[in-house]
Structure 1
Amino acid sequence: MKERVLITGASGFVGFHLVEAAKSAGLEVHAAVRKSSSISQIEHAVDKFVYLDYEDHEGLISVLEENQYQYVIHAAAMTRAKEEKDLIRVNRDYTLKFFSAIFDADIPLKRVTFVSSLAAVGPIAIQDGLISERTAYRPVTAYGRSKREIELVLKDRFADKPITIIRPTAVYGPREKDIFILFKTLNSGVDAYIGRKPQQLSFIYVDDLAKVILHSCLVTHAQFKVYNISDGNIYSRYEMADIFKKTLNKRAIRVHIPFFVIKKIAHLFEWAYKRSPNIPVLYPERLNELTAANWGCDVSAARRELGFDPKFDLVTGLTETLMWYKENRWL
């Protein structure tokens, strides 16, 4: 009989690739989605859809016990919100309620993996080297703070449980929509940067991320573990644009916009969207991430303990991504 995995956030960008990876690994895949979610792209790889109410402890236990999961991957999250309290409610409180139900349920659980973010730790100075699992928390956004909060709570409440926390850096790949905005700008002929200060960046191709998340469930290792994940390389702020231009044979004018100008624009966007249910792509706090000096990431623990061996660097991963965008007429 196949082992069974429950994947939350399955209709999202990373969730799509997780579902594909789990199906390819021979698992029976159950996907937790909202009833309003579009599921057409993952239906072929999902054996059963489930709907979770994170406010209903007994209801969560009932779903878990009915389906007897060996593995759970919690990838659902809120990445942006008008108010920080909403991010805390979803990313901290709902996750805590879900994990409490998991460990209260009578199921043959082997491991649960929680998809956090390098934003929980935050960037560091270039002279400080690389972000490791021992780096002190200094998140610079509300999203990062919400992820820090749940990491701390999980460690406090469930340090003796089979939990793995995966902290990916910036994730890119087919179907991704945030970094894609950069590609649209480059495609229009503009290669824009905020200020002129050097930056060290890190990335992870979504296929490599999905595989290490899944593997972190299947491998036998210590009870409570945390791993930073990138492709293991450090990139300058210009490399993604340079690869784009070379791959698609495009020209783009490189411009450096002063920080104070972008900051005013971000505040203007924030004001313009004040009464809108939507959230702008650029807002004041986002600048803390976009202009940070160093997102370089130490992945030696994942290599050593999970056998993590990313197959894609930025050149190979971005080439595949850009070809997908072009073939599917996103670009």
Structure 2
Amino acid sequence: MAKVIFVTGGAGFIGSALLRHLFQATDYTLVNIDKLTYAADLAALSDIEASPRYYFSQTDICDRAALDSLFQQFQPAAVMHLAAESHVDRSITGPADFINTNIIGTYTLLEASRAYLQQAPAAVNANFRFQHISTDEVFGDLAGSNDLFTESTPYAPSSPYSASKAASDHLVRAWHRTYNLPILITNCSNNYGPYQNREKLIPLMISKALAGEPMPVYGNGEQIRDWLFVEDHARALLTVLTKGKVGQTYNIGGHNEIKNIDVVKAICALLDELAPKQHSTFNTKHSTLITHVADRPGHDQRYAIDASKIHRELGWQPQESFASGLRKTVIWYLQNRLDL
């Protein structure tokens, strides 16, 4: 019988990419547990939704009774936990949802997993994994240094979003230490690729440019991020699940430190090259649409991931450069999301 894997937040951007990869690369039975918030997009799973290997449950991870029922029904071999509120701007204007989903939701899922294992056969306990997918934003700001985030970098979150994710990381480690729950943690850099919510930088800039609207860049745009193509991230998560050592943390990065303003300029250059007139309302250089706006409160200036551990110990490295990944992303939006 094929293993059953729970993926929480599987209708989200990274979760759906992970489910598509798991479907293609394994014979696992996949259970997508998602509340279906504004960021969910079940269309991203249209290629697998009819398969008998895929199940969808519209469930809030804060609903313990619903989670207990799913554990009893499917008897999973692993939980890959991606369900989270993740938009920094939204966390600044409305932090309550972030505290509820990212902290209370993670706690509830940990407890449901622990209760499941207490009654599961020894063989299930020996092989079960709780994989928690987190962010490099928990480490704070590297402004003014040439350092990289390592797995041992002290936490220093700056926003309600990153603080709530930091709290969830701490809970997962505590459940491993106190209750011996077999956990794995990953902290990733900025993801991009097909099906990303339009509030995020790259799809927002693409949609604004195609509409001939101002492309808003926070402050001077000098903020630096390490960009990771979402399909590379999905490969990394499966690698950690199957090869990672229980209790360990693995940083996942794209080896692409780029200033936000340079990301936006690269998008403009690709659209100048690739967007025929029927795809864009703008008839001159898209870069003339770049507009600088007031900076985000508490905006971190630089994130940079040291992903040497996952390469050294598990053999993973990204397949896409930023140039190749961004080209694939822009082409995908031109072909699939002209309504954005």
| Range class of TM-score, shorter chain | 0.7 to 0.9
Post-superposition offset of 1:191: 5.9
Contact preservation (8 Å) 1:29, 1:45: no
Q: 1:17–1:254: structure 2 CA closer, same or farther, 3 Å change rule?
A: same
Contact preservation (8 Å) 1:240, 1:314: no
1:157 alignment partner AA:
W
Question: In the alignment, what sits opposite 2:294?
Answer: 262
Contact preservation (8 Å) 1:133, 1:226: yes
Question: In the alignment, what sits opposite 2:305?
Answer: 297
Post-superposition offset of 1:239: 2.8
Question: In the alignment, what sits opposite 1:15?
Answer: 15
Post-superposition offset of 1:307: 1.8
Post-superposition offset of 1:48: 1.6
Between the aligned partners of 2:94 and 2:272, the Cα distance in structure 1 is 42
Question: In the alignment, what sits opposite 2:94?
Answer: 83
Q: 1:97–1:211: structure 2 CA closer, same or farther, 3 Å change rule?
A: same
Question: In the alignment, what sits opposite 2:277?
Answer: none
Paired residue secondary structure (2:302): coil
Q: 1:77–1:255: structure 2 CA closer, same or farther, 3 Å change rule?
A: closer
Matching of residue 313 in structure 1 with residue 316 in structure 2: no
Question: In the alignment, what sits opposite 1:27?
Answer: 28
Between the aligned partners of 1:230 and 1:162, the Cα distance in structure 2 is 24
- The farther-off stretch of 33-42 and 198-207 is 33-42
Question: In the alignment, what sits opposite 1:249?
Answer: 272
Post-superposition offset of 1:248: 2.4
Between the aligned partners of 1:236 and 1:23, the Cα distance in structure 2 is 34
| Structure 1: unaligned runs, 5 residues or longer | 264-285
139, 155, 163: which is aligned to 1:121? 139
Post-superposition offset of 1:33: 2.4
| Structure 2: unaligned runs, 5 residues or longer | 274-284
Contact preservation (8 Å) 2:219, 2:294: no
Q: 1:201–1:78: structure 2 CA closer, same or farther, 3 Å change rule?
A: closer
1:327 alignment partner AA:
Q
1:299 alignment partner AA:
A
Post-superposition offset of 1:186: 4.1
Post-superposition offset of 1:300: 0.9
Name the count of aligned residue pairs: 303
2:267 alignment partner AA:
F
Between the aligned partners of 1:307 and 1:54, the Cα distance in structure 2 is 32
- The farther-off stretch of 81-90 and 168-177 is 81-90
Paired residue secondary structure (1:202): strand
Contact preservation (8 Å) 2:250, 2:307: yes
2:226 alignment partner AA:
S
Percentage of matched positions with identical amino acids: 23
Post-superposition offset of 1:192: 5.4
